[in-house]
Amino acid sequence: MTSTEIPVAGLTTRPATGTKPLPPHGTLTRHKFHGCKCEPCRKAGREYMSQRYRLIAYGRWQPYVDAAPVRAHVRMLCSYGIGIPQTRQLSGVSNGSISRLLYGRGEQGPSRRVRTQTADRILAIKPSLDAAAPSALVDGTGTQRRLQALVAMGWPQKELARRLGLDRNTVNDQVNLCPPAYGSTARAVRDLYDELWNVDPLRAGVGQRWVVEAKALAKARGWVPPGAWDDDYIDSPAAVPDVGEHVAQYVSLTENAEWLITTQGYTQELAAYRLGVTRAHLARAMSYARSRGGAA
């Protein structure tokens, strides 16, 4: 048994060549290409063949698919701060397979086809803050908007920096300059925003002087409160806040929602659907309107 073998009672396997570790037990690769006869590997082989025969019978057997859309998806993920190591970790696809997909091997160009299972695993990764690596740089738009919205509520930047565990200059840069944010920073700001969007800073112990100054700063610079942003679009650079022309958007949205709820028997979820916003956005608008005395 080589140093790369994993001993399992009651099985025989073909020794691995070189120093590359063998695939884990219970995988088709170990059973098919390394001759492992353990029950988990044999089960993986049986399940693969059973699925293959079934799909062939239905005329749906497609072991390979076009690699171009998968390659484009990997590059799109990279643009969201989800790099190759993170994609490999999230998908479970080997580094060699991803390398061949993107760059090819030797004199061969990038893969023209990939296994369906490989494509499914990679395409299942969606661009999100939760998928980005902590040290990856992501677009800072959503981070800036969330911080500005909290300042508009009266949360001073120094208090936000304290709660985030970040240097005050870092928070100041994110608020005013909108540089790319580390994945860990963007997630921390998003989580803090979710925690504080309907919390009165005065009741949380922030001094009145600092609250007044924060609101004045936000007003002077045109920063809008959480009620002006829809959670589905706050991270999009193309999105704009909805503040209404004559009546604040969060007030009109709240009034319409409360009319649907009280006179038509709508639930808050159905009212949000009827008004074309997410439930979370409606809840924030209604809470903010009530805190400002803008709706009954």
Q: What is the pLDDT of residue 149?
A: 95
| CA distance to 126, 237, 251, per residue, from 82 (Å) | 10, 18, 38
Is there a single domain that holds both residue 44 and residue 102? no
Q: What is the pLDDT of residue 19?
A: 54
What's the rounded Cα separation, in Å, for the pair 174 and 180?
8
Is there a single domain that holds both residue 111 and residue 150? no
Q: What is the CATH number of the domain that holds 265?
A: 1.10.10
Which pLDDT tens digit goes with each residue over 203-258?
Answer: 999 999 999 999 999 999 999 988 888 887 788 777 778 765 445 667 777 888 88
8 domain residue, yes or no: no
Is there a single domain that holds both residue 51 and residue 86? no
pTM, full prediction: 0.59
Q: Which of 57, 74, 100 is the last residue of a domain?
A: 57
Residues 122-134 have a mean pLDDT of 87
Task: Report which of residues 295 and 77 the model is more confident about.
Answer: 77
For the chain, the domain total comes to: 4
Q: Which of 242, 217, 220 is nearest to 231 (CA)?
A: 242
Cβ–Cβ < 8 Å for 86, 132: yes
Q: Which of 170, 196, 228 is the last residue of a domain?
A: 228
Is there a single domain that holds both residue 219 and residue 279? no
Place of tokens 């809470």: 287
Is there a single domain that holds both residue 111 and residue 68? yes
Average pLDDT, the chain: 83
Q: Which of 192, 215, 218, 189 is nearest to 202 (CA)?
A: 215
Q: In terms of C-beta density within 10 A (0-12 exposed, 13-18 middle, 19 or more buried), how is residue 173 classed? A: middle
Which pLDDT tens digit goes with each residue over 110-122?
Answer: 988 898 888 988 9
Number of Cβ within a 10 Å radius of residue 32 = 14
Q: Which of 57, 72, 106 is the last residue of a domain?
A: 57
Which pLDDT tens digit goes with each residue over 136-186?
Answer: 888 899 999 999 999 999 999 999 999 999 999 999 999 999 899 999 999
Is there a single domain that holds both residue 221 and residue 283? no
258 domain residue, yes or no: yes
Is there a single domain that holds both residue 96 and residue 160? no
Domain membership of residue 86 as a residue range: 64-123
Residues 2-29 have a mean pLDDT of 56
